[in-house]
Structure 1
């Protein structure tokens, strides 16, 4: 069980935060300049990850520690800045940041600290796919299985990964031990023997995120690559470990919100430049439409920021977090998802009616892929259960 301490003593200074956000804006400007061309090409994010590494963003977006990493609020601000320019790259960076926290969520304090130091030193880019505890664990045929051997395990199977499948340095997955039935969270170096990837092609959206499948054929897993045990059910999950799944969902809320804000900004600029179906002029209906869309974005922004603040406080609390705190975070994240998904889909679809320009459709396609697998009704029922009964269970995990 993780023994993660508070991160309060390792927050970057205001000057460091400002410098990181300036870097993010510069990188976002670079991505925005050719976002349409890269979206149409749909190639693996080789050039994109090289630009991120050049700017030092993967190294900066690791958990805060002595002389390294950044706090949750600043990390999410960087993700949203990048997502507004290129939703695919924002998605990639969001998943990197959350998976870089895996040591704190699942491992001991000593193991997590050593892993984070190595990640910064080696400039690792992270990705992965860890399932949330739930009924799906009852499957008789898990997609990934571990078989013990004298010096660790052998890992077999295949798993869909949403970003950087061919570009990441470390891949975090959960797998079932064939002898004990325990679900273990492990990290796999991308260049390990027996690891191959099958990139996804012709995606509707998020075309540059680098999605695909990893195929694991008798991959050796050392004891040091085992981060910890992932409980089978929500009730037996340590409160801090329970933050892993909502942390990813909240980071993706920032991606969706950035996507919506990017779409609205581009449509506005097109309207001002005269490349729109209706020019601004004195058209009250156009003012009304933009007012409605801007209000929807600002409302989502307020909800997401509230959830971000509460998540940051919970991460700072560390191992002292109680079940009530974890449940409250999950409920706020589910609320943020519900509001943001609705706003992102509405804004990105509506701007297509306001401006006429090639590539503007990419925002809706990206928003559609980001929100497709998170049904609103399931989230709302879970939020209602938490509100009425104060349930300590995780709220509305998605598969």
Structure 2
């Protein structure tokens, strides 16, 4: 049963901030440890926030995308791995909403809200090693998937395979994570996002029911169904902004509490050093610009989402451009800030116990999800030639 919300609950963001304070207490240690953040995932289950984006009529909290991403950002400030899998959970819910019939996605929404299900990802359209085979109406997935974020400790998986009998057509399904034949491998050992449970998954003759296939309307079939990759891209953008905001706050705290002026500085206190002030001024101006771009993109996404199947291709294209612009700036600002924060904290801030490098490592790892150069190519083609971006699973 769904756990009751605490008496002190005033809003999802208020609840997220309380949880973020708990997550922050051991985030650096868990970053070193890697593996599954079981206690933190369970805390999310008990909080009711796994139903955040689910409409109230299905038992959820009925949050908009803007409100959902506000929570992602709040978590990302202290623990970007938790923010990643939390945002992916809501992306998977959006996937079934956009790609399947109401008689499919509505029961999944209700059960997720009632039973606090966690949804994981095993959808990778570029990884074609998993195939769909059909035997007298009996369907099976067989093969291997890489980078399956949030798959471990999940109740449901969004998985993809190619139908070789249909010329390599991409097939997507929603299946229980514990189904026979599914093996979740604990082989994620990367420099960043170390607790996203992003290891590989093996499918060995995994049964897939007709009711689990997301065929109607299917992936990228309409402007509305094509919102899925844009939600993913805006999730990453909010993740990047949250990491940057968290790095800024950690650096600011360290600078004010621990740093000292350089011996040739005329400043009596670090807070008066002109070079330190210049760095923080640049950090702040860049963050403010990204915040404005992200806010605009979130507003446009909510407007597009609320139009449903009536969404047009031109509106979808303008949303894609807004999200891409925000992501480019969030990526560049974040990588710059998380690298340069040591210039305002000093040599002692490189102590391993502080793990201030985790902000850069996490951001650098996740910004490689899809190349920024191709995002800039899309923007350039629009800016110079007026060419609208073509919907794909990455744009």
* Fold shared, TM-score > 0.5 on shorter chain: yes
- Identify if the C-alpha distance between structure 1 residues 281 and 83 changes in structure 2 by more than 3 Å, giving closer, same or farther: closer
5+ residue gaps, structure 1, are 1-15
**1:313 Cα deviation (Å)?**
0.7
Q: Does 1:104 align with 2:100?
A: no
Q: Distance in 2 between matches of 1:167 and 1:306?
A: 34
Alignment counterpart, residue 245 of structure 1, candidates 202, 221, 229: 229
**1:350 Cα deviation (Å)?**
0.8
Alignment of 1:187-266 (within 5 A): 187-228=174-215, 237-266=221-250
Q: Distance in 1 between matches of 2:158 and 2:225?
A: 15
Alignment counterpart, residue 316 of structure 1, candidates 299, 306, 309: 306
- SS in structure 2 opposite 1:124? coil
Q: Does 1:335 align with 2:325?
A: yes
Q: Distance in 1 between matches of 2:249 and 2:209?
A: 48
Q: Distance in 1 between matches of 2:57 and 2:233?
A: 23
Q: Distance in 1 between matches of 2:98 and 2:56?
A: 14
**1:110 Cα deviation (Å)?**
2.9
Alignment counterpart, residue 385 of structure 1, candidates 381, 388, 391: 381
Alignment counterpart, residue 134 of structure 2, candidates 148, 160, 163: 148
**1:65 Cα deviation (Å)?**
4.4
Q: Distance in 2 between matches of 1:386 and 1:122?
A: 45
5+ residue gaps, structure 2, are 1-7, 263-268
- Identify if the C-alpha distance between structure 1 residues 331 and 289 changes in structure 2 by more than 3 Å, giving closer, same or farther: same
Greater mean deviation of Cα atoms: 109-118 or 300-309: 109-118
Q: Deviations over 1:263-287 (max 9, x none)?
A: 0001101112124676623111111
**1:169 Cα deviation (Å)?**
1.2
Q: Does 1:373 align with 2:369?
A: yes
Alignment of 1:87-126 (within 5 A): 87-126=80-119
Q: Does 1:294 align with 2:281?
A: no
| Corresponding position of 2:21 | 29
- Identify if the C-alpha distance between structure 1 residues 260 and 396 changes in structure 2 by more than 3 Å, giving closer, same or farther: farther
1:156–1:216 contact (8 Å) kept in structure 2: yes
Alignment counterpart, residue 353 of structure 1, candidates 328, 336, 343: 343
TM norm structure 1: 0.87
- Identify if the C-alpha distance between structure 1 residues 125 and 67 changes in structure 2 by more than 3 Å, giving closer, same or farther: closer
Q: Does 1:273 align with 2:266?
A: no
Q: Distance in 2 between matches of 1:393 and 1:152?
A: 38
Q: Deviations over 1:242-278 (max 9, x none)?
A: 1101111111111111000000001101112124676
Q: Deviations over 1:23-50 (max 9, x none)?
A: 1000000011111111111122222211
Count of matched residue pairs: 374
1:184–1:229 contact (8 Å) kept in structure 2: no
| Corresponding position of 1:43 | 35
Q: Distance in 1 between matches of 2:160 and 2:188?
A: 25
- Identify if the C-alpha distance between structure 1 residues 190 and 231 changes in structure 2 by more than 3 Å, giving closer, same or farther: closer
TM norm structure 2: 0.88
- SS in structure 2 opposite 1:273? helix
**1:89 Cα deviation (Å)?**
0.6
Q: Distance in 2 between matches of 1:276 and 1:327?
A: 50
1:156–1:219 contact (8 Å) kept in structure 2: yes
- Identify if the C-alpha distance between structure 1 residues 129 and 337 changes in structure 2 by more than 3 Å, giving closer, same or farther: farther
1:146–1:155 contact (8 Å) kept in structure 2: yes
| Corresponding position of 2:171 | 184
- SS in structure 1 opposite 2:121? strand
**Root-mean-square deviation (Å):** 2.3
Instruction: Between the two structures, name the one with larger relative contact order (CA 8 Å, sep ≥ 6).
Output: 1
Q: Distance in 1 between matches of 2:148 and 2:284?
A: 29
Q: Does 1:130 align with 2:123?
A: yes
**1:22 Cα deviation (Å)?**
0.8
